[in-house]
């Protein structure tokens, strides 16, 4: 049975109509800040990866260092922006956090490199890389938060005493 407009729902009265989800981009200045920051972060990651390559079947130190230092920087940045800076510019977090540090860290490459180590039958190395990166990145982010809070508290304490 076909309805007036010939659509599937008109043919099947029990069919569920689903609207195609619409992509929400957000304000153009935020999108631009994320895109520019992401390009800069990706260029930094590319430069380090090019400067410090690794041979097939060996531990990918450059990606490990990129991800761990990026997570440390994310911990520092978020404390600075949310606890120290007061009211930072509204584009600071999208540009620096989502953009630069999001473009700099590369957990997709981390997954691909783990897969390549497994394909090369370097199972122990792959597991060390897989779990070592995760642990080191989480610890680095927490160290960044802790160190920044500690330094900010000391600085604010000195300013009050002066």
Q: What are 88-140's pLDDT values in tens digits? A: 999 999 999 999 999 999 889 999 999 999 999 999 999 999 999 999 999 99
Q: What are 127-143's pLDDT values in tens digits? A: 999 999 999 999 999 99
pTM: 0.80
Q: Print burial letters for 97-119: b (CB count within 10 Å at least 16), e (below 16).
A: bbbbbbbbbbeebbeebbeebee
pLDDT value at 79 more than 60 = yes
The better pLDDT of the pair 95, 159 is held by 95
For residue 9, the model assigns a pLDDT of 52
Domain ranges of the chain: 24-161
Query: What value does the mean pLDDT take over residues 12-39?
Result: 83
For residue 7, the model assigns a pLDDT of 55
Q: How confident is the model at residue 155 (pLDDT cuts 50, 70, 90)?
A: confident
DSSP the chain: ---SS--HHHH-TTPPP-PPPPP----HHHHHHHHHHHHHHHHHHHHHHHHS---TTS--HHHHHHHHHHHHHHHHHHHIIIIISSS--TTHIIIIIIIIIHHH--HHHHHHHHHHHHHTT-HHHHHHHHHHHHHHHHHHHHHHHHHHHHHHHHHHHHHHH-
């Amino acid at each position: 049975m076909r309805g007036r407009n010939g659509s599937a729902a008109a043919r099947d009265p029990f069919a569920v109509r689903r609207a195609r989800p619409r992509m929400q981009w957000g304000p153009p200045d935020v999108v631009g800040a994320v895109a520019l920051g992401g390009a800069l972060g990706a260029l930094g990651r590319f430069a380090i990866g090019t400067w410090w390559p690794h041979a097939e079947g060996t531990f990918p130190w450059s990606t490990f260092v990129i991800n761990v230092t990026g997570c440390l920087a994310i911990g520092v940045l978020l404390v600075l922006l949310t606890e120290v800076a007061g009211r930072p510019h509204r584009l600071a977090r999208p540009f620096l956090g989502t953009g630069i540090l999001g473009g700099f860290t590369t957990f997709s490459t981390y997954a691909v490199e783990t897969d390549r180590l497994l394909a090369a039958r370097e199972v122990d190395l792959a597991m060390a890389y897989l779990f070592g990166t995760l642990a080191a990145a989480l610890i680095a982010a927490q160290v960044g938060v802790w160190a920044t809070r500690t330094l900010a508290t000391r600085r604010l304490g000195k300013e009050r005493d002066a």
